[in-house]
Amino acid sequence: MYKLFLPFLLLCAINLNAQSTEELNAIQKEILAEGLFLYELEKAAWISTDLFMEKFKTKNNVGGYVNYHEDDRIKSVYYTSDEEPTVFAEAKFTKSFSNDSIDTSFEERQLSKLEKNLILLREKTIEALIENKDSIFSMYSNTNFNFIPNIYNDIKRVIILTAPLKSGNMIIGNDYEVIFTEDNEIKSAKKIHNNIIAFPFKSEEGSSERCMHTHLESTGPFMTATDICTTLLYKDFADWEYHDVYSKDYTSIFKINYPNLLIMTNSAMDQIYADQEQRANEREANDGELSKKTKKEQKKKLKQLLKEKKKEERRKRKENKD
């Protein structure tokens, strides 16, 4: 009953408030684009690490890696730790990340200007994290940091994600954005989410088609690009079809397997729920073949389902606040 389909919701949202929907469409498009951008970089890192680390496990001068978009592909570059680093391995991926489309090269070469910039951003972010001068960064047990140096909308930055060291769950939160000047000096550093939440792929109640969390005012009213990036990275380990983010005034619904983001006002969501209940009541009233007893039972069941769903949403929102 609760399976909310995006085209239906979008149609309802347009009917409710065309002007605000147009503004939200622009916001959700921007968030989705950035989320996919980050996901592609980090997914390339995951796959290339699996490809190269076994092959080069005895190599004693591995410096690290950077990832970036080149034309319509994503490139992973691994470099040495020498005083003058050089590239010793690289891989190119299509956005589908299919195995048969991966191109690898082990020809040693000099770093490009872009690659040098990304390495410098990464190194300076790690230095800032270790120093932690303003106590911005927090470290939690059984977790690790993943660094995504990138240039997005002409802004040099590093996105930091927190990842679990143990399998079986996804972590949302304790993520950061470090912004750099054109001269590769740190301009600002901020937390994206203030807290950290672990989502088990399967709970004691079994698998679920949705995962959800609530944003506090300090995090912002909408799903973040890092929410989208992280959800896509772990989508193959869970049965989730949607990731929902609630805030004081908005609901963000991310469709995972066919990535799409819909942001609606909470008042619009309430009206949709009310409309669904009204339609169900109308169908019952117009169905002459149903006995009065059956109608009464179905109506009671529908109301109970809606009540249980709202109760479940309130519980999860209360538990998963960041």
CA distance 121 to 125: 6
Give the pLDDT of residue 16: 45
User: Which stretches of the chain drop beneath a pLDDT of 70?
Assistant: 1-19, 204-207, 280-319
Give the pLDDT of residue 22: 85
At 105, the amino acid letter reads S
Give the pLDDT of residue 280: 66
Give the pLDDT of residue 60: 87
Give the pLDDT of residue 207: 67
* Tens-digit pLDDT profile for residues 171-196: 999 999 999 999 999 999 999 999 99
DSSP per-residue letters across 6-70: HHHHHHHHHHH-HHHHHHHHHHHHHHHHHHHHHHHHHHHHHHHHHHHHTTTTT-S-EEEEEEEEE
Q: Which residues face 93 on adjacent strands? A: 74
How many other CB atoms are found less than 10 A from the CB of residue 64?
Answer: 15
Give the pLDDT of residue 15: 47
Give the pLDDT of residue 59: 84
Is the distance from CB of 25 to CB of 9 less than 8 angstroms?
Answer: no
Burial of 259 (0-12, 13-18, 19+ CB in 10 A): middle
Give every CB contact of residue 262 below 8 A, 6+ residues apart in sequence. 6, 9, 10, 13, 28, 252, 253, 254, 255
